A and B are shown apart, each in its own frame.
Chain A
Protein backbone atom coordinates (compact mmCIF):
# COMPACT_ATOMS: atom_id res chain seq x y z
CA UNK A 1 0.00 0.00 0.00
CA UNK A 2 1.36 3.38 -0.88
CA UNK A 3 1.92 5.97 1.80
CA UNK A 4 -0.58 8.82 1.75
CA UNK A 5 1.09 11.28 4.07
CA UNK A 6 -1.02 14.35 3.26
CA UNK A 7 -4.31 12.54 3.76
CA UNK A 8 -3.12 11.11 7.07
CA UNK A 9 -1.85 14.47 8.27
CA UNK A 10 -5.10 16.15 7.28
CA UNK A 11 -7.21 13.73 9.30
CA UNK A 12 -4.89 14.03 12.27
CA UNK A 13 -4.44 17.81 11.99
CA UNK A 14 -6.73 18.68 14.94
CA UNK A 15 -5.00 16.02 17.04
CA UNK A 16 -1.51 17.24 16.10
CA UNK A 17 -2.51 20.84 16.81
CA UNK A 18 -4.05 19.80 20.14
CA UNK A 19 -1.02 17.76 21.19
CA UNK A 20 1.28 20.69 20.42
CA UNK A 21 -0.87 23.50 21.80
CA UNK A 22 -2.43 21.81 24.82
CA UNK A 23 0.25 19.30 25.82
CA UNK A 24 3.76 19.51 24.35
CA UNK A 25 4.30 23.28 24.54
CA UNK A 26 2.62 23.63 27.96
CA UNK A 27 4.80 20.78 29.26
CA UNK A 28 7.94 22.61 28.15
CA UNK A 29 6.62 25.89 29.57
CA UNK A 30 5.68 24.21 32.83
CA UNK A 31 9.18 22.80 33.24
CA UNK A 32 10.65 26.25 32.56
CA UNK A 33 8.25 27.86 35.07
CA UNK A 34 9.29 25.33 37.71
CA UNK A 35 12.80 26.81 37.47
CA UNK A 36 11.49 30.35 37.82
CA UNK A 37 10.10 32.76 40.32
CA UNK A 38 6.74 33.56 38.72
CA UNK A 39 4.23 35.73 40.56
CA UNK A 40 1.21 35.61 38.30
CA UNK A 41 1.29 39.20 36.99
CA UNK A 42 5.04 39.54 36.43
CA UNK A 43 7.13 37.66 33.87
CA UNK A 44 8.98 34.55 35.13
CA UNK A 45 12.59 35.05 36.29
CA UNK A 46 15.03 32.16 36.39
CA UNK A 47 15.97 30.96 39.88
CA UNK A 48 17.40 27.50 39.13
CA UNK A 49 16.32 24.72 41.47
CA UNK A 50 15.25 27.12 44.24
CA UNK A 51 11.60 26.06 44.02
CA UNK A 52 12.50 22.39 44.43
CA UNK A 53 14.82 23.18 47.34
CA UNK A 54 12.07 25.19 48.99
CA UNK A 55 9.60 22.33 48.48
CA UNK A 56 11.89 19.98 50.39
CA UNK A 57 11.81 22.40 53.34
CA UNK A 58 8.08 23.20 53.18
CA UNK A 59 6.24 21.52 56.07
CA UNK A 60 2.88 22.00 54.42
CA UNK A 61 4.17 20.26 51.29
CA UNK A 62 5.28 17.21 53.29
CA UNK A 63 2.01 17.30 55.15
CA UNK A 64 0.08 17.21 51.88
CA UNK A 65 2.26 14.33 50.62
CA UNK A 66 1.57 12.39 53.80
CA UNK A 67 -2.18 13.06 53.64
CA UNK A 68 -2.35 11.96 50.03
CA UNK A 69 -0.37 8.77 50.67
CA UNK A 70 -2.58 7.94 53.66
CA UNK A 71 -5.68 8.50 51.56
CA UNK A 72 -4.40 6.37 48.67
CA UNK A 73 -3.21 3.59 51.00
CA UNK A 74 -6.67 3.51 52.57
CA UNK A 75 -8.98 4.14 49.64
CA UNK A 76 -7.32 2.01 46.94
CA UNK A 77 -6.94 -1.36 48.73
CA UNK A 78 -10.27 -1.02 50.56
CA UNK A 79 -11.96 -0.01 47.31
CA UNK A 80 -10.55 -3.12 45.63
CA UNK A 81 -11.64 -5.37 48.50
CA UNK A 82 -15.17 -3.96 48.55
CA UNK A 83 -15.33 -4.03 44.73
CA UNK A 84 -14.19 -7.65 44.62
CA UNK A 85 -16.67 -8.62 47.35
CA UNK A 86 -19.47 -7.01 45.37
CA UNK A 87 -18.28 -8.79 42.24
CA UNK A 88 -18.28 -12.19 43.98
CA UNK A 89 -21.80 -11.48 45.27
CA UNK A 90 -22.89 -10.47 41.77
CA UNK A 91 -21.34 -13.58 40.26
CA UNK A 92 -23.89 -15.83 42.00
CA UNK A 93 -26.77 -17.45 40.21
CA UNK A 94 -29.59 -15.66 42.00
CA UNK A 95 -32.70 -13.86 40.76
CA UNK A 96 -32.61 -10.13 39.98
CA UNK A 97 -28.86 -9.95 39.43
CA UNK A 98 -29.23 -7.13 36.89
CA UNK A 99 -31.10 -4.99 39.42
CA UNK A 100 -28.34 -5.52 41.98
CA UNK A 101 -25.65 -4.71 39.43
CA UNK A 102 -27.42 -1.45 38.63
CA UNK A 103 -27.80 -0.54 42.32
CA UNK A 104 -24.07 -1.02 42.97
CA UNK A 105 -23.07 0.90 39.88
CA UNK A 106 -25.38 3.91 40.31
CA UNK A 107 -23.28 5.69 42.97
CA UNK A 108 -20.42 5.98 40.46
CA UNK A 109 -22.76 7.94 38.17
CA UNK A 110 -23.36 10.67 40.80
CA UNK A 111 -21.40 13.83 39.88
CA UNK A 112 -18.49 14.40 42.25
CA UNK A 113 -19.76 17.79 43.46
CA UNK A 114 -23.29 16.49 44.12
CA UNK A 115 -21.67 13.50 45.81
CA UNK A 116 -19.52 15.78 47.97
CA UNK A 117 -22.50 17.87 49.06
CA UNK A 118 -24.38 14.68 49.92
CA UNK A 119 -21.49 13.25 51.93
CA UNK A 120 -20.90 16.44 53.92
CA UNK A 121 -24.43 15.78 55.10
CA UNK A 122 -24.05 12.01 55.57
CA UNK A 123 -20.91 12.53 57.65
CA UNK A 124 -22.45 15.24 59.83
CA UNK A 125 -21.70 14.06 63.39
CA UNK A 126 -25.09 15.02 64.88
CA UNK A 127 -27.55 14.76 62.00
CA UNK A 128 -25.79 12.53 59.47
CA UNK A 129 -26.82 9.10 58.30
CA UNK A 130 -23.50 7.43 59.17
CA UNK A 131 -23.58 8.33 62.85
CA UNK A 132 -27.33 7.65 62.99
CA UNK A 133 -26.47 4.16 61.75
CA UNK A 134 -23.71 3.78 64.35
CA UNK A 135 -26.14 4.89 67.07
CA UNK A 136 -28.60 2.31 65.75
CA UNK A 137 -25.84 -0.30 66.28
CA UNK A 138 -25.65 1.00 69.88
CA UNK A 139 -22.25 2.68 69.64
CA UNK A 140 -21.62 4.58 72.87
CA UNK A 141 -22.05 8.33 72.27
CA UNK A 142 -18.44 9.04 73.20
CA UNK A 143 -17.18 6.73 70.44
CA UNK A 144 -19.04 8.40 67.59
CA UNK A 145 -16.52 9.94 65.20
CA UNK A 146 -16.69 13.67 64.47
CA UNK A 147 -15.80 12.88 60.84
CA UNK A 148 -15.12 16.05 58.85
CA UNK A 149 -14.97 18.22 61.97
CA UNK A 150 -12.30 16.06 63.63
CA UNK A 151 -8.75 16.16 62.29
CA UNK A 152 -8.25 12.43 63.00
CA UNK A 153 -11.49 11.34 61.34
CA UNK A 154 -11.72 13.65 58.31
CA UNK A 155 -9.44 11.54 56.10
CA UNK A 156 -11.10 8.22 57.07
CA UNK A 157 -14.41 9.95 56.32
CA UNK A 158 -13.26 10.71 52.78
CA UNK A 159 -12.04 7.11 52.39
CA UNK A 160 -15.46 5.86 53.49
CA UNK A 161 -17.05 8.16 50.94
CA UNK A 162 -14.81 6.80 48.17
CA UNK A 163 -15.98 3.26 48.97
CA UNK A 164 -19.49 4.18 47.88
CA UNK A 165 -18.04 4.20 44.34
CA UNK A 166 -16.60 0.68 44.59
CA UNK A 167 -19.27 -0.58 42.17
CA UNK A 168 -17.29 0.76 39.19
CA UNK A 169 -14.45 -1.67 39.89
CA UNK A 170 -16.98 -4.42 40.63
CA UNK A 171 -18.31 -4.21 37.05
CA UNK A 172 -14.79 -4.91 35.77
CA UNK A 173 -14.22 -7.74 38.23
CA UNK A 174 -17.55 -9.38 37.31
CA UNK A 175 -16.54 -9.32 33.64
CA UNK A 176 -13.18 -10.88 34.54
CA UNK A 177 -14.77 -13.51 36.78
CA UNK A 178 -17.11 -14.56 34.01
CA UNK A 179 -14.12 -15.10 31.69
CA UNK A 180 -12.55 -17.64 34.07
CA UNK A 181 -13.09 -21.07 32.43
CA UNK A 182 -15.44 -23.22 34.51
CA UNK A 183 -13.26 -26.31 33.78
CA UNK A 184 -10.54 -24.87 36.03
CA UNK A 185 -12.89 -24.86 39.00
CA UNK A 186 -14.26 -28.29 38.14
CA UNK A 187 -10.77 -29.76 37.86
CA UNK A 188 -9.73 -28.20 41.17
CA UNK A 189 -12.89 -29.47 42.86
CA UNK A 190 -12.13 -33.01 41.62
CA UNK A 191 -8.64 -32.64 43.09
CA UNK A 192 -10.27 -31.86 46.43
CA UNK A 193 -9.72 -28.11 46.60
CA UNK A 194 -12.19 -26.33 48.91
CA UNK A 195 -13.87 -23.00 48.11
CA UNK A 196 -11.16 -21.01 49.88
CA UNK A 197 -8.35 -22.77 48.01
CA UNK A 198 -10.17 -22.35 44.71
CA UNK A 199 -10.54 -18.63 45.40
CA UNK A 200 -6.91 -18.25 46.41
CA UNK A 201 -5.35 -20.35 43.65
CA UNK A 202 -7.73 -19.93 40.70
CA UNK A 203 -9.97 -16.88 41.03
CA UNK A 204 -7.35 -14.40 42.25
CA UNK A 205 -4.61 -15.38 39.75
CA UNK A 206 -7.08 -15.46 36.85
CA UNK A 207 -8.39 -11.95 37.49
CA UNK A 208 -5.05 -10.51 38.66
CA UNK A 209 -4.48 -8.38 35.51
CA UNK A 210 -7.77 -6.56 36.13
CA UNK A 211 -6.96 -6.19 39.82
CA UNK A 212 -3.61 -4.68 38.92
CA UNK A 213 -5.21 -2.35 36.38
CA UNK A 214 -7.80 -1.01 38.83
CA UNK A 215 -5.13 -0.71 41.50
CA UNK A 216 -2.85 1.39 39.30
CA UNK A 217 -5.72 3.53 38.01
CA UNK A 218 -6.96 4.07 41.57
CA UNK A 219 -3.45 5.08 42.60
CA UNK A 220 -3.10 7.61 39.77
CA UNK A 221 -6.59 9.00 40.45
CA UNK A 222 -5.97 9.11 44.21
CA UNK A 223 -2.86 11.24 43.84
CA UNK A 224 -4.89 13.70 41.75
CA UNK A 225 -7.75 13.95 44.28
CA UNK A 226 -8.87 17.57 44.39
CA UNK A 227 -12.56 18.49 44.03
CA UNK A 228 -13.69 16.35 46.97
CA UNK A 229 -11.46 18.13 49.47
CA UNK A 230 -12.00 21.55 47.85
CA UNK A 231 -15.78 21.30 48.18
CA UNK A 232 -16.08 19.40 51.45
CA UNK A 233 -13.31 20.54 53.76
CA UNK A 234 -11.12 23.14 52.03
CA UNK A 235 -8.27 20.98 53.33
CA UNK A 236 -9.24 21.26 56.99
CA UNK A 237 -9.58 20.74 59.86
CA UNK A 238 -5.96 21.64 60.63
CA UNK A 239 -4.82 20.69 57.11
CA UNK A 240 -5.78 17.06 57.80
CA UNK A 241 -7.37 16.73 54.34
CA UNK A 242 -4.98 19.04 52.52
CA UNK A 243 -4.37 16.84 49.48
CA UNK A 244 -1.37 17.34 47.25
CA UNK A 245 -3.37 18.80 44.37
CA UNK A 246 -5.31 21.11 46.70
CA UNK A 247 -2.01 22.47 48.04
CA UNK A 248 -0.82 22.85 44.44
CA UNK A 249 -4.01 24.69 43.48
CA UNK A 250 -3.74 27.00 46.49
CA UNK A 251 -0.09 27.76 45.73
CA UNK A 252 -0.97 28.66 42.15
CA UNK A 253 -4.31 30.41 42.42
CA UNK A 254 -4.55 31.86 45.91
CA UNK A 255 -0.88 32.59 46.62
CA UNK A 256 -0.14 33.21 42.92
CA UNK A 257 3.20 31.39 43.06
CA UNK A 258 3.11 29.82 39.62
CA UNK A 259 6.76 28.74 39.63
CA UNK A 260 6.44 26.97 42.95
CA UNK A 261 3.19 25.28 41.89
CA UNK A 262 4.79 24.15 38.61
CA UNK A 263 7.59 22.52 40.58
CA UNK A 264 4.92 20.76 42.65
CA UNK A 265 3.28 19.51 39.46
CA UNK A 266 6.54 17.95 38.28
CA UNK A 267 7.14 16.32 41.64
CA UNK A 268 3.58 14.93 41.41
CA UNK A 269 4.37 13.47 37.99
CA UNK A 270 7.51 11.86 39.42
CA UNK A 271 5.61 10.43 42.41
CA UNK A 272 2.95 8.94 40.12
CA UNK A 273 5.56 7.41 37.81
CA UNK A 274 7.56 5.91 40.67
CA UNK A 275 4.48 4.61 42.51
CA UNK A 276 3.10 3.05 39.32
CA UNK A 277 6.47 1.47 38.58
CA UNK A 278 6.71 0.06 42.11
CA UNK A 279 3.23 -1.45 41.87
CA UNK A 280 3.87 -2.94 38.43
CA UNK A 281 7.26 -4.23 39.48
CA UNK A 282 6.18 -5.81 42.75
CA UNK A 283 3.12 -7.39 41.18
CA UNK A 284 5.10 -8.93 38.31
CA UNK A 285 5.50 -12.17 40.27
CA UNK A 286 1.83 -12.36 41.16
CA UNK A 287 0.00 -11.23 38.06
CA UNK A 288 -0.77 -13.93 35.52
CA UNK A 289 -1.26 -12.98 31.92
CA UNK A 290 -2.76 -15.53 29.59
CA UNK A 291 -0.34 -16.73 26.97
Chain B
Protein backbone atom coordinates (compact mmCIF):
# COMPACT_ATOMS: atom_id res chain seq x y z
CA UNK B 1 0.00 0.00 0.00
CA UNK B 2 1.38 3.38 -0.96
CA UNK B 3 1.41 5.93 1.85
CA UNK B 4 0.14 9.24 0.60
CA UNK B 5 0.24 12.55 2.51
CA UNK B 6 -3.57 12.70 2.47
CA UNK B 7 -3.67 9.39 4.26
CA UNK B 8 -1.30 10.60 6.99
CA UNK B 9 -3.31 13.80 7.47
CA UNK B 10 -6.50 11.73 7.69
CA UNK B 11 -4.93 9.55 10.36
CA UNK B 12 -3.71 12.56 12.34
CA UNK B 13 -7.19 14.13 12.31
CA UNK B 14 -8.58 10.79 13.49
CA UNK B 15 -6.12 10.77 16.40
CA UNK B 16 -6.99 14.38 17.24
CA UNK B 17 -10.73 13.61 17.33
CA UNK B 18 -10.09 10.49 19.38
CA UNK B 19 -8.14 12.56 21.90
CA UNK B 20 -10.97 15.11 22.12
CA UNK B 21 -13.56 12.37 22.68
CA UNK B 22 -11.43 10.61 25.31
CA UNK B 23 -10.47 13.70 27.28
CA UNK B 24 -13.77 14.01 29.24
CA UNK B 25 -13.32 10.40 30.44
CA UNK B 26 -9.76 11.03 31.58
CA UNK B 27 -10.91 14.21 33.29
CA UNK B 28 -13.74 12.35 35.02
CA UNK B 29 -11.43 9.66 36.37
CA UNK B 30 -8.72 12.13 37.34
CA UNK B 31 -11.18 14.42 39.16
CA UNK B 32 -12.56 11.43 41.05
CA UNK B 33 -9.04 10.85 42.44
CA UNK B 34 -8.21 14.45 43.31
CA UNK B 35 -8.12 16.01 46.78
CA UNK B 36 -10.64 18.70 47.58
CA UNK B 37 -8.15 21.56 47.32
CA UNK B 38 -6.83 20.36 43.95
CA UNK B 39 -10.26 19.94 42.35
CA UNK B 40 -10.81 23.67 42.57
CA UNK B 41 -7.66 24.58 40.62
CA UNK B 42 -8.18 26.52 37.40
CA UNK B 43 -5.11 25.06 35.68
CA UNK B 44 -5.63 22.09 33.44
CA UNK B 45 -3.97 19.12 35.12
CA UNK B 46 -4.96 15.53 34.45
CA UNK B 47 -2.64 14.06 37.08
CA UNK B 48 -4.17 14.07 40.59
CA UNK B 49 -1.76 15.67 43.05
CA UNK B 50 -1.66 16.58 46.73
CA UNK B 51 0.12 19.36 48.62
CA UNK B 52 3.23 18.18 50.47
CA UNK B 53 5.79 19.83 52.77
CA UNK B 54 8.82 18.88 54.82
CA UNK B 55 8.10 18.10 58.46
CA UNK B 56 11.13 17.08 60.55
CA UNK B 57 13.04 15.97 57.50
CA UNK B 58 10.35 13.78 55.90
CA UNK B 59 7.91 14.81 53.19
CA UNK B 60 4.29 14.48 54.26
CA UNK B 61 0.95 15.28 52.65
CA UNK B 62 -0.90 18.27 54.06
CA UNK B 63 -4.33 19.74 53.56
CA UNK B 64 -4.73 23.54 53.32
CA UNK B 65 -7.25 24.72 55.94
CA UNK B 66 -7.23 28.55 55.86
CA UNK B 67 -5.06 31.53 55.04
CA UNK B 68 -3.69 33.82 57.72
CA UNK B 69 -2.35 36.97 56.10
CA UNK B 70 0.47 35.79 53.86
CA UNK B 71 0.76 32.51 55.74
CA UNK B 72 -1.10 29.27 55.07
CA UNK B 73 -2.55 27.05 57.79
CA UNK B 74 -2.32 23.37 56.84
CA UNK B 75 -3.30 20.13 58.48
CA UNK B 76 -0.87 17.20 58.34
CA UNK B 77 -2.56 14.19 56.75
CA UNK B 78 -0.05 11.41 57.47
CA UNK B 79 2.87 10.37 59.65
CA UNK B 80 3.30 10.72 63.42
CA UNK B 81 2.04 14.32 63.41
CA UNK B 82 -1.21 13.44 61.63
CA UNK B 83 -3.99 15.85 62.49
CA UNK B 84 -1.80 18.69 63.80
CA UNK B 85 -2.18 22.12 62.26
CA UNK B 86 0.85 24.07 61.12
CA UNK B 87 1.22 27.63 59.88
CA UNK B 88 3.67 27.81 57.00
CA UNK B 89 4.76 30.14 54.24
CA UNK B 90 3.07 29.15 50.93
CA UNK B 91 6.43 28.66 49.20
CA UNK B 92 7.22 25.78 51.57
CA UNK B 93 4.38 23.79 49.99
CA UNK B 94 4.82 21.76 46.85
CA UNK B 95 2.82 19.19 44.87
CA UNK B 96 3.33 15.53 44.25
CA UNK B 97 1.16 12.95 42.46
CA UNK B 98 -1.37 11.38 44.78
CA UNK B 99 -4.52 9.30 44.31
CA UNK B 100 -7.30 10.29 46.69
CA UNK B 101 -9.19 7.00 47.00
CA UNK B 102 -11.20 8.35 49.90
CA UNK B 103 -13.55 9.99 47.37
CA UNK B 104 -14.77 6.48 46.63
CA UNK B 105 -14.68 5.04 50.15
CA UNK B 106 -16.14 8.17 51.81
CA UNK B 107 -18.71 8.46 49.04
CA UNK B 108 -19.84 4.91 49.67
CA UNK B 109 -20.11 5.62 53.41
CA UNK B 110 -21.82 9.01 53.27
CA UNK B 111 -24.23 7.98 50.57
CA UNK B 112 -25.87 4.57 50.47
CA UNK B 113 -24.49 3.78 47.06
CA UNK B 114 -24.23 0.05 47.57
CA UNK B 115 -27.88 0.04 48.58
CA UNK B 116 -28.81 2.06 45.49
CA UNK B 117 -26.76 -0.30 43.37
CA UNK B 118 -28.78 -3.18 44.82
CA UNK B 119 -32.08 -1.39 44.08
CA UNK B 120 -30.96 -0.60 40.53
CA UNK B 121 -29.79 -4.13 39.84
CA UNK B 122 -33.07 -5.61 41.11
CA UNK B 123 -35.06 -3.35 38.76
CA UNK B 124 -32.68 -4.12 35.89
CA UNK B 125 -32.82 -7.90 36.33
CA UNK B 126 -36.63 -7.96 36.59
CA UNK B 127 -36.94 -5.64 33.59
CA UNK B 128 -34.62 -7.78 31.47
CA UNK B 129 -36.42 -11.02 32.42
CA UNK B 130 -39.84 -9.49 31.82
CA UNK B 131 -38.89 -7.89 28.52
CA UNK B 132 -37.15 -10.93 27.05
CA UNK B 133 -39.97 -13.26 28.09
CA UNK B 134 -42.94 -11.13 27.03
CA UNK B 135 -41.36 -9.87 23.81
CA UNK B 136 -40.25 -13.29 22.58
CA UNK B 137 -43.71 -14.75 23.34
CA UNK B 138 -45.49 -11.94 21.54
CA UNK B 139 -43.09 -12.05 18.60
CA UNK B 140 -43.75 -15.80 18.27
CA UNK B 141 -47.48 -15.11 18.29
CA UNK B 142 -47.06 -12.45 15.62
CA UNK B 143 -44.56 -14.24 13.38
CA UNK B 144 -45.06 -17.99 13.77
CA UNK B 145 -48.76 -18.52 14.51
CA UNK B 146 -51.17 -17.77 11.67
CA UNK B 147 -54.31 -16.16 13.06
CA UNK B 148 -56.88 -13.60 12.13
CA UNK B 149 -56.18 -10.18 13.60
CA UNK B 150 -52.45 -10.52 14.01
CA UNK B 151 -51.81 -7.94 11.29
CA UNK B 152 -54.17 -5.51 13.05
CA UNK B 153 -52.41 -6.08 16.37
CA UNK B 154 -49.04 -5.59 14.71
CA UNK B 155 -50.01 -2.26 13.17
CA UNK B 156 -51.65 -1.00 16.36
CA UNK B 157 -48.41 -1.87 18.16
CA UNK B 158 -46.33 -0.01 15.57
CA UNK B 159 -48.60 3.02 15.85
CA UNK B 160 -48.00 3.21 19.61
CA UNK B 161 -44.28 3.62 18.95
CA UNK B 162 -45.00 7.09 17.57
CA UNK B 163 -46.52 8.24 20.84
CA UNK B 164 -44.27 10.26 23.19
CA UNK B 165 -44.22 8.86 26.73
CA UNK B 166 -45.38 12.22 28.07
CA UNK B 167 -48.89 11.57 26.74
CA UNK B 168 -49.43 8.48 28.88
CA UNK B 169 -47.32 9.66 31.83
CA UNK B 170 -50.04 11.44 33.79
CA UNK B 171 -52.86 8.85 33.55
CA UNK B 172 -50.36 6.09 34.36
CA UNK B 173 -49.13 8.01 37.39
CA UNK B 174 -52.70 8.42 38.64
CA UNK B 175 -53.47 4.75 37.99
CA UNK B 176 -50.38 3.51 39.84
CA UNK B 177 -51.18 5.92 42.67
CA UNK B 178 -54.71 4.52 42.83
CA UNK B 179 -53.28 0.98 42.98
CA UNK B 180 -51.02 2.02 45.88
CA UNK B 181 -47.91 1.26 43.80
CA UNK B 182 -46.17 4.58 44.55
CA UNK B 183 -42.86 4.07 46.34
CA UNK B 184 -42.61 0.49 45.08
CA UNK B 185 -40.73 -0.82 42.06
CA UNK B 186 -43.94 -2.21 40.53
CA UNK B 187 -44.63 0.73 38.16
CA UNK B 188 -41.09 0.35 36.82
CA UNK B 189 -41.12 -3.43 36.44
CA UNK B 190 -44.66 -4.61 35.65
CA UNK B 191 -44.92 -2.83 32.27
CA UNK B 192 -41.74 -4.68 31.19
CA UNK B 193 -43.66 -7.96 31.49
CA UNK B 194 -46.21 -6.66 28.97
CA UNK B 195 -43.89 -6.30 26.00
CA UNK B 196 -42.09 -3.46 24.31
CA UNK B 197 -43.19 -2.49 20.82
CA UNK B 198 -39.71 -1.87 19.46
CA UNK B 199 -38.18 -5.13 20.72
CA UNK B 200 -41.21 -7.15 19.57
CA UNK B 201 -40.91 -5.58 16.14
CA UNK B 202 -37.23 -6.50 16.01
CA UNK B 203 -37.78 -10.08 17.20
CA UNK B 204 -40.69 -10.57 14.82
CA UNK B 205 -38.47 -9.65 11.88
CA UNK B 206 -35.92 -12.14 13.18
CA UNK B 207 -38.43 -14.97 13.75
CA UNK B 208 -39.76 -14.60 10.23
CA UNK B 209 -36.34 -15.62 8.91
CA UNK B 210 -36.47 -18.97 10.76
CA UNK B 211 -37.32 -21.68 8.20
CA UNK B 212 -40.90 -22.94 8.86
CA UNK B 213 -39.74 -26.48 8.04
CA UNK B 214 -37.88 -26.57 11.38
CA UNK B 215 -41.05 -25.78 13.27
CA UNK B 216 -43.14 -28.14 11.16
CA UNK B 217 -40.71 -30.97 11.89
CA UNK B 218 -41.08 -30.36 15.63
CA UNK B 219 -44.86 -30.27 15.25
CA UNK B 220 -44.89 -33.61 13.47
CA UNK B 221 -42.86 -35.00 16.39
CA UNK B 222 -45.79 -33.96 18.58
CA UNK B 223 -44.46 -30.70 20.04
CA UNK B 224 -46.95 -28.00 20.96
CA UNK B 225 -46.44 -24.28 20.36
CA UNK B 226 -44.92 -23.59 23.77
CA UNK B 227 -42.44 -26.40 23.21
CA UNK B 228 -41.58 -25.16 19.71
CA UNK B 229 -41.09 -21.67 21.10
CA UNK B 230 -38.81 -22.91 23.88
CA UNK B 231 -36.88 -25.61 22.01
CA UNK B 232 -36.68 -24.34 18.42
CA UNK B 233 -37.24 -20.60 18.26
CA UNK B 234 -35.48 -19.40 21.43
CA UNK B 235 -32.20 -21.26 20.82
CA UNK B 236 -32.12 -20.02 17.22
CA UNK B 237 -32.73 -16.40 18.22
CA UNK B 238 -30.02 -16.07 20.86
CA UNK B 239 -28.25 -13.13 19.13
CA UNK B 240 -31.50 -11.18 18.82
CA UNK B 241 -32.48 -11.99 22.40
CA UNK B 242 -29.05 -10.78 23.52
CA UNK B 243 -29.76 -7.44 21.85
CA UNK B 244 -33.10 -7.22 23.70
CA UNK B 245 -31.48 -8.17 27.02
CA UNK B 246 -28.56 -5.73 26.70
CA UNK B 247 -30.65 -2.78 25.59
CA UNK B 248 -33.44 -3.31 28.11
CA UNK B 249 -30.79 -3.56 30.84
CA UNK B 250 -29.26 -0.26 29.74
CA UNK B 251 -32.70 1.33 29.54
CA UNK B 252 -33.51 0.30 33.12
CA UNK B 253 -30.05 1.25 34.42
CA UNK B 254 -30.29 4.74 32.88
CA UNK B 255 -33.99 5.38 33.48
CA UNK B 256 -34.42 8.67 35.28
CA UNK B 257 -38.01 9.80 34.83
CA UNK B 258 -39.56 6.52 36.06
CA UNK B 259 -37.72 6.31 39.41
CA UNK B 260 -38.08 10.09 39.82
CA UNK B 261 -41.86 9.79 39.57
CA UNK B 262 -42.42 6.61 41.52
CA UNK B 263 -39.67 6.19 44.13
CA UNK B 264 -39.97 8.61 47.04
CA UNK B 265 -37.78 7.30 49.90
CA UNK B 266 -33.97 7.42 49.97
CA UNK B 267 -33.76 3.71 50.64
CA UNK B 268 -35.68 2.95 47.42
CA UNK B 269 -33.54 5.19 45.22
CA UNK B 270 -31.73 3.94 42.13
CA UNK B 271 -28.25 5.12 41.15
CA UNK B 272 -29.66 7.54 38.58
CA UNK B 273 -31.76 9.58 41.02
CA UNK B 274 -29.28 9.07 43.87
CA UNK B 275 -26.55 10.66 41.78
CA UNK B 276 -28.86 13.43 40.58
CA UNK B 277 -29.66 14.23 44.22
CA UNK B 278 -26.01 14.12 45.19
CA UNK B 279 -25.42 16.73 42.49
CA UNK B 280 -28.08 18.93 44.09
CA UNK B 281 -26.83 18.46 47.66
CA UNK B 282 -23.06 18.43 47.70
CA UNK B 283 -22.51 20.61 44.71
CA UNK B 284 -19.07 21.60 46.02
CA UNK B 285 -17.76 18.12 46.71
CA UNK B 286 -16.71 17.35 43.16
CA UNK B 287 -14.17 14.63 43.83
CA UNK B 288 -16.82 12.50 45.50
CA UNK B 289 -19.43 13.28 42.87
CA UNK B 290 -17.09 12.30 40.03
CA UNK B 291 -16.23 9.12 41.94
CA UNK B 292 -19.92 8.23 42.03
CA UNK B 293 -20.41 9.02 38.35
CA UNK B 294 -17.47 6.69 37.60
CA UNK B 295 -19.16 4.01 39.70
CA UNK B 296 -22.38 4.44 37.74
CA UNK B 297 -20.65 4.46 34.35
CA UNK B 298 -18.16 1.64 34.82
CA UNK B 299 -20.62 -1.31 34.73
CA UNK B 300 -22.00 -0.15 31.39
CA UNK B 301 -18.51 0.23 29.93
CA UNK B 302 -17.67 -3.29 31.12
CA UNK B 303 -20.94 -4.54 29.62
CA UNK B 304 -20.06 -2.81 26.37
CA UNK B 305 -16.69 -4.55 26.17
CA UNK B 306 -18.23 -7.92 27.03
CA UNK B 307 -20.98 -7.59 24.44
CA UNK B 308 -19.48 -5.29 21.84
CA UNK B 309 -20.84 -7.25 18.89
CA UNK B 310 -24.34 -7.29 20.40
CA UNK B 311 -24.16 -3.52 20.86
CA UNK B 312 -23.20 -2.85 17.26
CA UNK B 313 -25.85 -5.32 16.00
CA UNK B 314 -28.47 -3.58 18.13
CA UNK B 315 -27.52 -0.13 16.89
CA UNK B 316 -27.69 -1.30 13.29
CA UNK B 317 -31.02 -3.09 13.78
CA UNK B 318 -32.44 -0.04 15.48
CA UNK B 319 -31.05 2.10 12.71
CA UNK B 320 -31.91 0.19 9.61
CA UNK B 321 -35.27 -1.26 10.53
CA UNK B 322 -36.55 0.63 13.55
Contact = CB atoms under 8 A, between A and B. Distances in A.
Question: Are these two chains actual partners, yes or no?
Answer: yes
Interface of A: 1-5, 7-12, 14-19, 21-27, 29-30, 33, 85-86, 89-90, 92-94, 100, 102-107, 109-114, 116-122, 126-127, 129, 132-133, 135-136, 164, 167-168, 171-172, 175, 210, 213-214, 220, 223-224, 226-227, 230-231, 245, 248-249, 252-253, 258, 261-262, 264-266, 268-269, 272-273
29 contacts: A9-B147, A12-B141, A14-B138, A14-B194, A15-B134, A15-B137, A16-B153, A19-B194, A29-B171, A89-B10, A92-B10, A94-B11, A100-B18, A107-B25, A109-B300, A114-B275, A114-B294, A116-B279, A117-B278, A117-B293, A120-B279, A213-B319, A223-B164, A252-B169, A252-B170, A265-B166, A265-B169, A265-B170, A266-B167
A106 B301 contact: yes
A30 B162 CA distance: 16
Interface stretch (B39-47, B55-63, B75-83, B103-111): B39-47
A90 B308 CA distance: 17
Given A18-B195, A94-B14, A168-B315, A227 B256 contact: yes
Given A14-B137, A27-B163, A89-B17, A7 B275 contact: no
B208 interface: no
A215 B2 CA distance: 37
Chain B, interface size: which category? Answer: 35 or more
Majority secondary structure of chain A interface residues (helix, strand, loop or mixed): helix
Interface in B108-163: 134, 137-138, 140-142, 145-150, 153, 156-157, 160, 162-163
Contact of B166 (A25, A90, A116, A245): A245
A226 B272 CA distance: 14
Contact of B44 (A2, A25, A132): A132
Contacts of B312: 171
A171 B174 contact: no
A273 B156 CA distance: 17
Of B25, B168, B200, B290, most A-chain CB atoms within 10 Å: B168
Contact of A27 (B167, B194, B301): B167
B166 to A, nearest CB: 4
A8 B260 CA distance: 37
Of A8, A12, A110, A171, most B-chain CB atoms within 10 Å: A12
B290 A117 contact: yes
Contacts of A167: 21
B86 interface: no
B237 interface: no
Given A11-B225, A269-B164, A106 B304 contact: yes
B156 A109 contact: no
B153 A129 contact: no
A12 B300 contact: no
B14 A265 contact: no
Nearest to A110: B297
B144 to A, nearest CB: 8
A11 B272 contact: no
Contacts of A116: 276, 279
B23 interface: yes
Contact of B171 (A2, A26, A120): A26
Task: Across the A-B interface, give the 3 residue pairs with the lowest CB-CB distance, nearest first.
Answer: A18-B194, A11-B141, A8-B147
A265 B27 CA distance: 38
A129 B23 contact: yes
A171 B317 CA distance: 12
A274 B261 CA distance: 29
A262 B174 CA distance: 12
A17 B194 contact: yes
Nearest to A92: B10
A110 B301 CA distance: 8
A258 B169 CA distance: 10
Of B14, B41, B275, most A-chain CB atoms within 10 Å: B14
Contact of B168 (A27, A92, A132, A227): A27
A22 B186 CA distance: 13
B257 interface: yes
Nearest to A220: B164
